[in-house]
Structure 1
Amino acid sequence: MKIIIAGNGKMGAALTSQLTAEGDDLTLIDSNLNVLESSEESYDIMVVHGNCASMDVLIQAGVKEADLLIAMAGADEVNLLCCMTAHGLNPNIHTIARVCNPEYTDQIYVMRQMFGLSMAVNPERQAATEIERLLKYPGFLKRDTFTKGRVEIVELRIDKKSKLCNVALNDLDGIVKCKILVCAVLRDGKAVAPGGNFVLREGDRIYVTAFTNILTLLLKNLGILTHKVKRVMICGGGRISYYLAKQLQNSGVQVQIIEKDQERCRQLSAILPSACIIQGDSTNQLLLESEGVSSCDALATMTGLDELNMIISLYGNSCGVPQVITKLGHIKNADILGDLSLGSVISPKELCCNTIVQYVRAMKNQAGAALTVHTIADGQAEAMEFYADERTRNCGKPLKALKLKKGVLVVCILKGAKMEIPNGDSYFNVGDIVYVVTGKEKSIYQLNDIFE
């Protein structure tokens, strides 16, 4: 499929990496020649130097023959003009634009056709929504949702006090006392597809498939005490902090935002009148102590610098904050984060990329495409949701009789209103929803791709 990526910042670079790995024909547009040359050396792609909203530049990039344009420039207005121009030159092209300004939220929805938009993405808003979901279940490092919230894959870290430490997966039922499936384990930076004899060790991060309605029971049976979050301290007053504060206030949560820039503090005070806005340096230990960091229910570090976020989160963890959430935007190698007490790590870039890659896969295979795609285990595995239709092979056959590709695991089957964590005797039929976890190196575009 021919795809044009307009803008080669963090998001554009991440998309270039993912989509070239999937075999797509990419053309990259950017006004920074050095950035283009670097991408051209790293990937087998075409590059065009210039303004991505310019008609001449888009024509040079092959917009009239392209299937999809992804506008990821730094300015919302440029992205919208880019999509509008591309659609005018090629009415059949699909367009995706990154639009981050809260002022445009309603406008984009109402004027979507006028802008020629197939989809708008907002990484900051996605990140805020993900953080709010994590705050509802302290104890989980990450939550990925399927079937409109009925099934989830949650991430847990095994520490030396955990009830699961040194326990084989075959013996989990007697401890958790509810139906779950450990679909992946991250050990020493490497993802493992565990068997029943696999023994969990201190430091492992496990990915558990469970029904959403038993998550509270799961945490209770593991001895992970949870309480309703009443006060959240947010370090950094950017867009994610704004979206998050707004969502938390709607849920009755008290919000404190610490922001260094005086003008930004004034803006936040005007648009978030119920929040407590503090002007100051969030790396200042005395300031954090005076504002009650040790007594808050959760700390979210949302500054623009990954290094600052990591330092503040480590300090918050040392103060005994029950839940710490760290935003990281630039860290490429997740291995170095493994032993750091950063709590839940949120990457707006990764969340947005997953949404776009899912759209691209759906375009390639309109009929049998994945309904949902999530990246887990630090990007080493994917969890996908498929609809079994008339073309799906092996319907009605027990899983133990199927020859699945190596590293592929069926983790859940939804039969109408009934959900099932499968065993060897389980099967799926036409009309069922099937959930699959696979290594990232496997190209799974439709359900039939899981079979040998």
Structure 2
Amino acid sequence: MKIIVAGNGKVGAALTRQLSAEGYDLTLIDSNLKVLESSEERYDIMVVQGNCASMGVLMQAGVKEADLLIAMTGADELNLLCCMTAHALNEKIHTIARVCNPEYMDQIFAMREMFGLSMAVNPERQAAVEIERLLKYPGFLKRDTFTRGRVEIVELRIDSRSKLCDVALNDMYGIVKCKILVCAVLRNGKAVAPNGNFVLREGDRIFVTAFTNTLTVLLKNLGVITHKTKRVILCGGGRISYYLAKQLENSGIGLQIIEKDAGRCRQLAAQLPAACIIQGDASSQFLLESEGISDCDALVTMTGLDELNMIISLYGTSCNVPQVITKLGHMENTSILGSMSLDSVISPKELCCNTIVQYVRAMENQTGAALTVHTIADGQAEAMEFLVDEKTRHCGKALKTLRLKKDVLVVCIAKGARMEIPNGDSYFNIGDIVYIVTGRDKSIYQLNDIFE
């Protein structure tokens, strides 16, 4: 499949890295020659320098033979014009545009055909949705949802006080007293696919498959004390803060947004009358203390600088803020992140990438493609859900009789309204939904790909 990526910023570069690794025929367009040369040296791709909305540049990139165009520049208008032009040159091409301006949300949906859009993505809005979900369950570092919210993979950190510290997975049920499955463990920055004899140690981050309605039970039995979030401090007044504030405005949660730019503060004050907007430097210890950081329920750091976000988050942790969420634009060096003991980390780039990669895989496999794809364990593993159809092999056979590829784990089976954490005697039939976790080095496009 031939794919054109227009724009080599954070999201575009991440897409280039992942899609080229999966073997797609990739052409990258950008106006910055140095950026293109760097990508050309690192990946097996074609590059074209120029304006991605220009008809001549798109023709040079091979738009008439392309199957998909992904417009990821930093300008919404340029992305939309790029998709419109590509669609005019090739009616069969699929197009995806990054559109971040809240003012465009309604018209993008209403005018999709006019823009020639197959899908619009908004990394900032996706990040706000993820942060809101974490604020609802403060005990988890991360939550990934499947089957319209019925099944989740949640991330927990094992510290010295945890009831699971030095406990083998086979002995977990006596502590958690609900059906769960540990599908991956991050230890010293490396992802491990554990068996029942695996013993959890201090510092491990575990990824647990559980039914959504058992999450409260899980936290309670682990002794993780959670209380309703009543006051949140947001550091940075960008688009994520705006989207998050809009989502939380009817929740009864008090919001304080700290933003350095006076003009942006006035704009936010007009758009978000229920929020308290504070002009100031979010890295100022005096300002954070005067705004009551030690008494807030959650701190979310979303300035434009990753380093600043990490420093403020670490300070929030030292002030015993119950929940600290950090937004990061770059997550390439995950070993550094693990050593810093940051709690929840949100990457708009990674969230957007996952959505687009899922669309690309579905295009290539029109039937049998994954319904949902989530990246877990600092990008070292993927969690996917598949619908079992008439082409799926081994229907009705017990899992213990099947030969699965190494590091592939079946973590849940949905049989209509009934959900099952599987054991060796479990099986799937046509119409069921199967959830798997696998290492990122495995190419799993359809359910049949999990079998040897």
Tell me how far 1:248 sits from its aligned partner.
1.3
Q: Which residue of 2 aligns with 1:451?
A: 451
Of 55-64 and 331-340, more deviation after overlay is shown by 331-340
* Correspondence for 1:236: 236
Deviation at 1:189, TM superposition (A): 0.6
Separation in 2 of the partners of 1:353 and 1:326?
A: 18
* Offset of residue 339 of structure 1: 2.6
Task: Indicate the residue corresponding to 2:343 in structure 1.
Answer: 343
Structure 1 gaps of 5+ residues are none
Q: Give secondary structure in 2 for the equivalent of 1:338.
A: helix
| Alpha-carbon distance between aligned partners in 2 of 1:33 and 1:358, rounded to the nearest angstrom | 29
Q: What amino acid is aligned across from residue 52 of structure 1 in structure 2?
A: C
Instruction: Please list the CA deviations of residues 107-154 of structure 1 after superposition, one character each: whole Å capped at 9, or x if unmatched.
Output: 100001100000000000000000000000001000000000000000
Q: Are 1:399 and 1:425, in contact at CA under 8 Å, matched by a contact in 2?
A: yes
Q: Which amino acid aligns with 1:120?
A: A
CA RMSD of aligned residues (A): 0.5
Q: Which amino acid aligns with 1:388?
A: V
**Per-residue displacement from partner, 1:395-443 (whole Å, max 9, x unpaired)?**
0000000000000000000001000000000000000000000010000
Name the residue aligned to 2:152. 152
What residue number does 1:424 align with?
424
Residue identity matched to 1:280 = G
CA distance in 2, matches of 1:286, 1:233: 15
- Cα drift, residue 203 of structure 1: 0.3
Equivalent positions of 1:82-97 (< 5 A) are 82-97=82-97
Identity rate, percent:
83
Amino acid across the alignment from 1:350: E
Question: What is the TM-score normalised by the length of structure 1?
Answer: 1.00
Using the alignment, how far apart are the partners of 1:251 and 1:259 within structure 2? 22
Tell me which amino acid in the other structure corresponds to 1:417: A
Equivalent position of 2:183 in the other structure: 183
1:250 is paired with a residue whose SS is coil
- Any gaps of 5 or more consecutive residues in structure 2? none
Aligned residue in 2 for 1:253: 253
Partner in structure 1 of residue 53 of structure 2: 53
1:287 aligns with: 287
Q: Is the 8 A contact 2:331 2:347 kept in 1?
A: no
**1:51-450 aligned within 5 A:** 51-450=51-450
Equivalent position amino acid for 2:240 in 1: I
Residues 77-115 of structure 1: CA deviation (Å, up to 9, x unaligned): 000000000000000000000000000000100001100
- Give runs of ≥4 in structure 1 deviating > 2 Å: none
Number of residue pairs matched? 452
Query: 1:317, 1:341 within 8 Å by CA — same for their partners in 2?
Result: no
Distance in structure 1 (CA, Å) of the matches to 2:312 and 2:158: 23
Name which of structure 1's ranges 326-335 and 160-169 shifts more when overlaid on structure 2. 326-335
Alpha-carbon separation, structure 1, partners of 2:329 and 2:287: 25
Contact in 2 for aligned 1:234/1:256 (Cα 8 Å): yes
Q: Can you list the C-alpha shifts for 1:296-325, whole angstroms capped at 9, x where unaligned?
A: 000000000000000000000000100000
Q: Is the 8 A contact 1:132 1:247 kept in 2?
A: yes
Letter in 1 for 2:431: G
Measure the CA separation in 2 of the matches of 1:371 and 1:334: 27
- 1:252 Cα shift? 1.8
**How far apart, CA to CA, are the structure 2 residues paired with 1:120 and 1:107?**
11
SS of the aligned residue for 2:249 comes to helix
Contact 1:313 1:341 in 2 (8 A): no
Could you tell me how far 1:343 is from its partner in structure 2?
Answer: 1.5
What is the distance in 2 between the residues matched to 1:85 and 1:174?
60
Following superposition, the deviation at residue 370 of structure 1 comes to 0.2
TM-aligned CA deviation for residue 76 of structure 1: 0.1
